[in-house]
Amino acid sequence: MNLKKVLSPDTVWVDLKADTKQGIIEEMIDRLLAAGKINDREAVLKAVLEREAKMSTGMQNGVAIPHGKSDAVTGLVAAIGLNKAGVNFDSMDGSPSTIFIMTISPTKRTGPHIQFLAEVSRLISQPAERDKLLAAKTHADIYETLTGK
């Protein structure tokens, strides 16, 4: 999957401010709403929190992947944000999360969501790529690291 088709400069952020799991999720949803990527904040928030209640999406190596399915989007919506201080996201390895990848997909579609996660996971599974992301100083730096442009 071409990440440029899903990510845009207005859906990557180097400066997430929240310091709790709920706060990160809400901040990312608010920024997606401001970017015009979702049309119903409460429906998306409910979908992501319901998914998070089933099992934490805090992975390992400082990565969390909050996601959900909602008809508040017509196609896959994705965002990536950093909080370099780290946030407790109940991750598998117990470490704070610093890289947050959010996806929202329509209720009846699974393919694009899985393809996107596979591509991003391939990138961030490499310590050097995670380090590049965490060294980003601007939103554009993150976008360029992920898309190569």
Concatenating the DSSP letter of every residue in the chain gives: --GGGT--GGGEES-----SHHHHHHHHHHHHHHTTS-S-HHHHHHHHHHHHHHS--B-STTEE--EEE-TT-SS-EEEEEEEEEEE----TTSPPEEEEEEEEE-TT--HHHHHHHHHHHHHHTSHHHHHHHHH--SHHHHHHHHH--
Per the structure, the complete domain to which residue 72 belongs is given by 3-147
pLDDT cut 70: percent of the chain above it: 99
Per-residue pLDDT for 27 more than 80?
yes
Q: Which residues are identified as catalytic?
A: 67
Per-residue pLDDT for 15 more than 70?
yes
For residue 49, the model assigns a pLDDT of: 97
Total of domains in the chain: 1
pTM of the model: 0.93
Per-residue pLDDT for 3 more than 90?
no
Average pLDDT, the chain: 91
Give 49 or 126, the one with higher predicted confidence: 49
Per-residue pLDDT for 131 more than 80?
yes
Per-residue pLDDT for 149 more than 70?
no
The CATH number of the domain holding residue 15 is: 3.40.930.10
For residue 48, the model assigns a pLDDT of: 96
